[in-house]
Amino acid sequence: MVNPEAITANIVSLNVDAIVNAANSSLLGGGGVDGAIHRAAGPELLSECRQLNGCSTGQAKVTLGYRLPARYIIHTVGPVWHGGDLGEDRLLASCYRTCMAEAASLALKSIAFPAISTGVYGYPLALATRIAVDTIMNQLEHTKIQVMFVCFDDEVRAVYEEVLSPG
């Protein structure tokens, strides 16, 4: 198994097979990482997204990366945090699993995830990180994809390092 790693970076700069976008259900762009990806990929991305008919929470849809170094963008819709009793944990895990399934079906070798739902959608970072790491570790038992957790700053990275560290 190739262990996942946490890095501090702007996800749009990464030279990987696919980056994951923390989108909303319209798939027509927004703020945060979604806005950064649309700006960097260029207007062709929005044109392709318009054909996709949106995406449900916990699911994912794939587009090309256009002007990004990444070949593909896997757009997933994380849950909005409402306190934890509305299946947020199940939906967030589903985002990570579904993106990995898309990556496997495209035979990708590397994928970079942002901290889905932890910005505008308000998911507590420590809880979200635990779900991200546990779900990916499970997936990596039966695939060899290289996974990067992309942290926008070192504070987020410290949380990932803590959860990733053995013991």
Per CB under 6 A, does 33 bind ligand AR6? yes
- Applying CB under 6 A, among 63, 118, 129, 139 the residue interacting with ligand AR6 is 118
**Annotation says 34 is catalytic:** yes
Per CB under 6 A, does 23 bind ligand AR6? yes
Q: Say if residues 3 and 141 touch (Cβ distance below 8 Å).
A: no
Q: Say if residues 37 and 129 touch (Cβ distance below 8 Å).
A: no
- Applying CB under 6 A, among 34, 65, 91, 160 the residue interacting with ligand AR6 is 34
Per CB under 6 A, does 79 bind ligand AR6? no
Stretch that binds ligand AR6, among 84-92, 99-107, 116-124, 141-149 (CB under 6 A): 116-124
- Applying CB under 6 A, among 72, 152, 157, 160 the residue interacting with ligand AR6 is 152
* Closest-CA residue to 11 (of 21, 25, 3): 21
Q: Considering the complex, state which of residue 58 and residue 119 has its C-beta at the smaller distance from ligand AR6.
A: 119
Q: Considering the complex, state which of residue 32 and residue 54 has its C-beta at the smaller distance from ligand AR6.
A: 32
**What's the CA gap between 158 and 149, in Å, rounded?**
12
Per CB under 6 A, does 92 bind ligand AR6? no
Binding site for ligand AR6 (CB under 6 A): 10-12, 22-24, 30-34, 36, 78, 114-121, 150, 152, 156
